[in-house]
Amino acid sequence: MRTFVSGEIMGVLVTPLTAYVDQRGSLLELVRTDALPGGHTPAMATISWTHPGIVRGPHEHRDQADLFAFVGPTRFRLTLWDNRPDSGTCGNILTLDLGGDAPASVLVPPGVVHAYQNLGEVPGFVLNFPDQLYRGPQKQQPVDEIRHENDPDSPFRP
């Protein structure tokens, strides 16, 4: 069985999101190209609703980087582990609780396995701004995804 160590992961960028609040409500800036590392340009946007207790992942991408925005209304536990053999942080695992009262975006580079679970009692939503089109232009390519749900060496346990 593979051993993982808690620690930072090279290329993962966590950015707290600031809510700008006034009498009308609030606004969050989700994506700013001047705050992203060079080379990450979102190619599309998705939103997912996740029911309480449900896990999405774990999986990784060969080429795609994901830029998730955890905005609530509930909290999510995001678990990442570095599966890149050439990375200086290969074997590191990072767990973050985000969303709800701690909105944040997280840039996940290719080769970093990721999974998240809704920790709350109501459905929550997560936005994603990946740098690749799902299944490529006109959805003509294979899905860029390596799934780890049934991997006995997976360090992710909801």
Gap between the Cα atoms of 81 and 77, Å rounded? 13
Report which of residues 1 and 152 the model is more confident about: 152
Taking only the tens place, the pLDDT of each residue in 72-120 is: 899 999 999 999 999 999 999 999 999 999 999 999 999 999 999 999 9
| Distances in whole angstroms, Cα of residue 52 to Cα of each of 10, 71, 103, 122 | 30, 15, 17, 6
Q: Phi and psi of 88, rounded to 5°?
A: -70, -10
Gap between the Cα atoms of 26 and 140, Å rounded? 39
Percent share of the chain, pLDDT over 70: 98
State which fold the 5-20+42-137 domain adopts: Jelly Rolls (2.60.120)
Taking only the tens place, the pLDDT of each residue in 24-81 is: 998 999 988 888 887 789 999 999 999 999 999 999 999 999 999 999 899 999 999 9
Tokens of 21: 């609040």
| Distances in whole angstroms, Cα of residue 148 to Cα of each of 60, 69, 71 | 8, 22, 25
Are the C-beta atoms of residues 106 and 70 closer than 8 Å to each other?
Answer: yes
Gap between the Cα atoms of 6 and 15, Å rounded? 19
Q: Mean pLDDT across the chain, nearest whole number?
A: 93
Give the confidence band of 158 by pLDDT, cuts at 50, 70, 90.
low
**Residue ranges per structural domain of the chain:** 5-20+42-137
pLDDT for 1 equals 59
Report which of residues 14 and 38 the model is more confident about: 14
Computed from CA positions of residues 141, 84, 92, 29, in that sequence, does the dihedral angle turn out positive or negative? negative
